[in-house]
Structure 1
């Protein structure tokens, strides 16, 4: 299916609650390519799982230090530390304990995508995830770290016999062109469909999700003042990613 048709079908998936998404009572481990993807894509799920007493874990794959490459005030090591703290603050807003947040610190823009690095990364993720459901950014997301996150999730799930769910973040750009401002052209893309999965009702946890997203202040243009042309989450992006539902699709075998 073409990407826009696939995303329309995702938006038409049935709406349900946590027990419908995870009927076996399992916990979750959310794989986030960068600090903030966990809040943007899965904040509602994490909050619901934590409130229900289910294991709710976050593994941040990259150090996030590439978002402001021209800042002198926040060189890469300082930016890495800032984004790590923002991720911990966001997790707290969602009810996720600090001990349940892990940082694998691969370089931003260089999350392992193939070969032995992918194999090693997948085993590291599996060791940290335990017997939980894995949740990774959908490989349709037009960003190489997000694609790598999906590849790691698929391999880790295969190694551990685990269920894998995909969540769209930047995939929504194919359906909502207003998200594309300042991000460059979208590559043509297709994805195997129709999608299987559901939309999770996160309306009750939306205030928590919004607080979590707000914790990523560096990505909202609120902290780093010497890199005005750097990436920042736009109101259009936030509007799409902070709706009262989140989408989760089953990984094809």
Structure 2
């Protein structure tokens, strides 16, 4: 299961992991909290509502390219996740964890990624809480039966965006070789037509760093799992 903030997050940060999971027959579920109406790049959209509709369709197309089994886009306001009700938002993720029962959960790190986006930071907080609370009977007792996923990973930036102050580096646990999925990750990103200027500005970064994705293990069944791994599912 992957939880992100905006359409295109699923491919830009996590596309390799999703495509490789599909290759091995792993069922995947991507939850996106907003429809990206506040994006700087607006394509041909005449309004925020129109842009949101475009980006919903782009998100679905991207997930299809990556072989995602289930995808869902929620109704939170882009750029304002810091004002979302924390218990309610976390509860919605808890419910989906309990129903889907993932072994592995992925999301952003607490740094918000290379652009330190506030929405990314909030998604990290919601998802981290949901990961731990999903297995506790005293948390959201009315939202399906408790279920505890086995691992929580956050994506770790391997590059800096020119002109932006980079976040403090996070130590990684998994250096995931995504060479076999690199073309699909790029193709998924190309489905986000409204974000074409972003694709052009990050093309060089994709080419330079696109063969690996780095993930940090935040929680697991055993502390021994914290040693470096080559795969998100190693040992499961």
After TM superposition, give the deviation of residue 209 of structure 1 in Å.
Answer: 0.8
4+ residue runs of structure 1 moved beyond 2 angstroms? 68-74, 232-235, 237-242
Q: Kindly tell me the number of residue pairs found equivalent between the two proteins.
A: 198
Aligned 8 A contact 2:43 2:193 in 1: no
Partner residue in 1 for 2:77? 107
After TM superposition, give the deviation of residue 126 of structure 1 in Å.
Answer: 2.0
Distance 1:70 1:49 in 2: 31
Between the two structures, name the one with larger relative contact order (CA 8 Å, sep ≥ 6). 1
TM-score, normalization by structure 1: 0.70
Aligned residues: CA RMSD = 2.4
Q: 5+ unaligned residues in a row in structure 1: which ranges?
A: 1-28, 222-231
Q: 5+ unaligned residues in a row in structure 2: which ranges?
A: 135-147, 221-236
State the SS of the aligned residue for 2:130: helix
State the SS of the aligned residue for 1:251: strand
Change (3 A) 1:143 1:199: same
Note the alpha carbon deviations across 1:164-215, whole angstroms, 9 max, x for none. 10013xx45xx53xx234xxx527x546x6x251111110111111110111
Distance 2:107 2:154 in 1: 5
Partner residue in 2 for 1:245? 212
Aligned 8 A contact 1:43 1:94 in 2: yes
Q: Quick one: which of 148, 167, 186 aligns to 2:122? A: 148
Change (3 A) 1:46 1:71: closer
Distance 2:216 2:120 in 1: 15
Partner residue in 2 for 1:139? 110
Partner residue in 2 for 1:55? 27
After TM superposition, give the deviation of residue 57 of structure 1 in Å.
Answer: 1.1
After TM superposition, give the deviation of residue 46 of structure 1 in Å.
Answer: 0.6
TM-score, normalization by structure 2: 0.75
Change (3 A) 1:137 1:123: same
Q: How does 1:26-175 map to 2 (within 5 A)?
A: 29-68=1-40, 73-97=45-69, 100-112=70-82, 117-129=85-97, 130-132=100-102, 133-141=104-112, 142-160=116-134, 161-162=148-149, 163-168=151-156, 171-172=157-158, 175=159
> Does 2:174 correspond to 1:198?
yes
